[in-house]
Structure 1
Amino acid sequence: MTTSQTPTFEHEIAIVPRDIDDMGHVNNAVYLRWVQEAIVDYWQHISSTDAQEALLWVALKHEIVYREPLFLNDEVDALVTATGTRGSRASFLTNFRRGEDIVSEVRSSWCCVDTVTRRPQRIAHDIARRFLPS
């Protein structure tokens, strides 16, 4: 995890053969799986066990910009930064980086959900501060 004004969480990506499409590069749909894995990993890294047992995150929206294709042997990291919270929603920017190059960026919106009721849950101040400490 690197730190700056708003922390960015680094999640290593492993490209596997099933991620590759008929064009010979990572299929666009795979990025959605990676975003989910990276944000869930971020949540598990910053939150307590109690919070993980009480809350789930459900994706509401993704906007993806593909800049360069990724291939099977590429080394890729997902860089996740929380960009805001409001009510039960949190927004994130996930940049996919190969070397020093950002090859794709995903802006996504997620809803915090109570694990028991499966209803939206307002993001508590202490949770929001873990994502956005400043």
Structure 2
Amino acid sequence: MKVDAPFDYPNPFLRDIEIQAEHIDGLGHVNNAVYVSWCQEAGWAHSVALDLDLASYKQLDAAMAIRHAEYDYTQAAYLGQRCKLATWLTGNDNRLSMERRFQLVHEDGHTLFRAKWQLICIRMSNGKPRRMPPEFIEQYGAAVITIESEQ
């Protein structure tokens, strides 16, 4: 599938989405929780592509966990439609927190959904905040894109 409309930011990490029957709710469109699930899958796939998988997290006793999330549903998605889900790392303080954004674009080029996560580094062994290990700063930091300030 080719999406002609530009994404919000350059160089996205992309996932193809084809709307299946199990994604549809009683209103006949994709259930809101499914979008959240797709974001989790895309965020994790991007992390793995950056060589930070679950084994790395366990070895480092560190993980990035969602502290705050915002979801903006702009148009509905329906059975059989095809979309691209883009994600970017848009901020990293190289200490404790990181920001990730998402955009779901329909094959006709219309944006259906946007999301923003504020992530915090935690110690896996106890769930408490901790400073990012050097591997996180290096791998995630290299993937951060610069975006213009939002008004």
Given the two structures, how large is their TM-score scaled by the length of structure 1? 0.82
**After the TM superposition, which of the residue ranges 53-62 and 102-111 deviates more from structure 2?**
53-62
Distance in 1 (CA, whole Å) between partners of 2:97 and 2:18 is 28
Cα distance change on mapping 1:48 and 1:29 into 2, 3 Å: closer
Aligned match of 2:129: 120
Q: For each residue in 1:62-98, what CA deviation from the matched residue of structure 2 results, as whole angstroms up to 9, or x when unmatched? A: 1111111001211122100111012321111100011
Distance in 2 (CA, whole Å) between partners of 1:70 and 1:95 is 13
Distance in 1 (CA, whole Å) between partners of 2:79 and 2:131 is 40
Instruction: Classify the secondary structure of the residue corresponding to 1:108.
Output: strand
* Identical counterparts, % of pairs: 19
- Specify which of 13, 34, 38 is matched with residue 34 of structure 1: 38
Deviation at 1:12, TM superposition (A): 2.0
Cα distance change on mapping 1:57 and 1:48 into 2, 3 Å: closer
Tell me if the contact between 1:94 and 1:105 (Cα under 8 Å) persists in the aligned partners: yes
- Specify which of 82, 88, 95 is matched with residue 89 of structure 2: 82
Distance in 2 (CA, whole Å) between partners of 1:23 and 1:78 is 22
**Over the residues paired in the alignment, what is the CA RMSD in angstroms?**
2.3
Is 1:132 equivalent to 2:144 in the alignment?
yes
Structure 2 alignment gaps of length 5 or more: 1-8, 147-151
Deviation at 1:30, TM superposition (A): 1.3
Q: For each residue in 1:3-41, what CA deviation from the matched residue of structure 2 results, as whole angstroms up to 9, or x when unmatched? A: xx9642112224332221111000112111111111011
Is 1:51 equivalent to 2:63 in the alignment?
no
More strand by share: 1
- Specify which of 52, 76, 95 is matched with residue 103 of structure 2: 95
Q: Which has the larger radius of gyration?
A: 2
